[in-house]
A and B are shown apart, each in its own frame.
Chain A
Amino acid sequence: GENVEQHPSTLSVQEGDSAVIKCTYSDSASNYFPWYKQELGKGPQLIIDIRSNVGEKKDQRIAVTLNKTAKHFSLHITETQPEDSAVYFCAAMGGADGLTFGKGTHLIIQP
């Protein structure tokens, strides 16, 4: 089945700086890659996604890039704000196994 690795597990950045979270996947059949943000006591919230026929997608301060050849995809958050502090999960969907998630990145925005 699919296996998703996510790095780093914890990321601390100064407010206003950029944050980058990276994921790799194993199943070349995967073609849907969402990113979720989870705040304490809440369910994961879909923040952006990308499909394998696209190399990059942007939504305001958030962007995702996908390299199908290398089987990795990344989340970029620019001009970070205190409300960006949360746990972020990458995921991949391939075959019939539902979403396979990375272990999560705890993003800390330092004032």
Chain B
Amino acid sequence: KAGVTQTPRYLIKTRGQQVTLSCSPISGHRSVSWYQQTPGQGLQFLFEYFSETQRNKGNFPGRFSGRQFSNSRSEMNVSTLELGDSALYLCASSSRTGRNEQFFGPGTRLTVL
């Protein structure tokens, strides 16, 4: 079974721009969660999508948004990029929402200049 895939793997943007990251979950998994990883704050939960609906949301500003498609693929968008948005963005796939195993992709490394 193929694992979680994320594209692109690396991205460089400038302040004020917007970015869209993509995640394809493990086949058959319907839940996709997004996390931000930085050296200072560690791993922080952004949001979770299940069956095209946002189920949970972490403590991030409205510039961070996401969506999920009918094939369970998910995208996250960050608008008006700030230097502090530089991070590794990780997507995790799960067979169902709730307290269940989450399997992570390799991440997208975003650098904001």
Binding site for B on A (CB under 8 A): 1, 31-32, 34, 36, 41-46, 49, 51, 89, 91, 93, 96-104
Contact = CB atoms under 8 A, between A and B. Distances in A.
Given A98-B48, A104-B42, A31 B103 contact: no
Interface stretch (B11-19, B70-78, B79-87, B94-102): B94-102
A36 B56 contact: no
Contacts of A45: 104
Given A32-B99, A43-B104, A89 B90 contact: no
B101 A46 contact: yes
Interface size class of B (residues with CB under 8 A): 20 to 34
B43 interface: yes
Contacts of B35: 98-99
A42 B44 CA distance: 17
A79 to B, nearest CB: 25
B102 A34 contact: yes
A99 B105 contact: no
Nearest to B55: A96
A101 B42 contact: yes
A41 B109 CA distance: 10
